[in-house]
Amino acid sequence: MDAWDAHAAQRLAKGPLRPLEPPARMEWTQRPGIGPGAEILGEDLAGRRVVELGCGPGNNAAHLTSIGAKVTGVDRSKGQIQRAVAHYGHHGTEFVHSRALGYLTREGERLDAIVSVFGAIGLGEPAKLLSACSRRLERKGVLAFSVPHPQRTGTIPASPRTRDRMTLPDGTTATVDRWDIDPAAWVRAFNRAGLLITGVSNLFAPADARWPTTLLITARKP
């Protein structure tokens, strides 16, 4: 069982799931209220087609639905999709159990925005996934994602592929493979995929953190 399935299984074991109201704000870090919200995807998302890659329990996907977007949340963990459907399926968000690359290459509908919040982008080699995102986006479509900042421990890893430790709900830890890429390398990867970087933000969550903890990047399909 990988870390994401283990996380979901522990949450599911705590008891029956209940419907929830969508969060009032979209979050790009693991601390609420830090950094921008959904406005970085565009001023008016009503009717816009948005996909979240690695939606987890569906919080951000549900928020985007609540402000009028047509949203699909995609996650490779069946347990996380089960949680998302139970919490927010009644609000109209679609949730799909699939790996991100498989979903992007299998479906053909053009998208106005693709988002990933500590999700699929950053958990695998970026070239194929960014190219697949580029192919699915409409002209002027937005790709926005956040990942753990490569400098979060004070130094950027020498190798882009690292193994990180994730704390599970029961306090134990699990290993997660990540791609810790510095901002300049992300810019080059986006350019190769045919996407133009429109913003790079170093976020501190908590606000008094010594080093930036979250890297938030936005790009646009020309």
pLDDT at 3 (0 to 100): 83
Q: How many CB atoms lie within 10 A of CB 1?
A: 11
- Please tell me the distance from the alpha carbon of residue 65 to that of residue 119, in angstroms, as a whole number: 18
Dihedral sign of CA atoms 153, 157, 160, 166 in order = negative
- Quick one: how many helices (H) and strands (E) in the chain? 6, 9
pLDDT (0 to 100) of residue 1? 63
**In terms of Cα–Cα distance, which of 35, 43, 68 is closest to 145?**
35
Rounded to an integer, what is the distance from CA 61 to the centroid of its chain? 10
Residues 94-137 pLDDT 10s: 999 999 999 999 978 999 999 999 999 999 889 999 999 999 99
Q: For residue range 1-19, what is the model confidence (pLDDT) as tens digits?
A: 688 888 888 888 887 889 9
Q: What is the structure's pLDDT at 179?
A: 84
Asked if residues 209 and 127 have their Cβ atoms less than 8 Å apart, the reply is no
Tokens of 73: 């949340």
Domain 3-28+45-220 has CATH 3.20.20.80: no
